[in-house]
């Protein structure tokens, strides 16, 4: 599975909520009854991905934020996505032309 496919979007899994705090993003897993704080720059990546940016676009924006090349930011985004999918925090959203045709 290519986690960083150019046109893939992600959403939070069922039972996952988050709160932006001064120290980062607090991810709350209501199913597992635990939470974890994502510090910067992972917190910025979380917000970018869950605001609907594709991994490619999120890496471009994160690169600008961090002042690094897009390739370095892409590597970081890919690692974070693998971790978050493995934790069950996020899932890829399916996108098909048929699904769009069904909605007008």
Query: Is the preceding omega at residue 41 within 30 degrees of 0, hence cis?
Result: yes
CA-nearest of 32, 63, 31 to 45 is 63
More confident: 7 or 30: 30
The topology (CATH level 3) of 9-90 is Arc Repressor Mutant, subunit A (1.10.10)
End-to-end CA distance of the chain: 30
> In the chain, what are the domain boundaries?
9-90
Contact criterion met (CB below 8 Å) for 10 and 81: yes
pLDDT, tens only, 14-65: 999 999 999 999 999 999 999 999 999 999 999 999 999 999 999 999 999 9
pLDDT, tens only, 51-87: 999 999 999 999 999 999 989 999 999 999 999 999 9
pTM: 0.83
């Amino acid at each position: 599975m290519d986690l960083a496919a150019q046109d893939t979007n992600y959403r939070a899994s069922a039972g996952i909520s988050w709160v932006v705090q001064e120290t980062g993003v607090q991810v709350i897993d209501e199913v597992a009854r635990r939470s974890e704080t994502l510090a910067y720059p992972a917190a910025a990546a979380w917000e970018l991905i869950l605001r609907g940016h594709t991994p490619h676009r999120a890496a471009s924006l994160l690169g600008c934020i961090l002042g690094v090349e897009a390739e370095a930011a892409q590597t970081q985004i890919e690692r974070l996505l693998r971790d978050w999918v493995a934790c069950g925090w996020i899932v890829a959203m399916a996108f098909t032309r048929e699904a769009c045709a069904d909605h007008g």
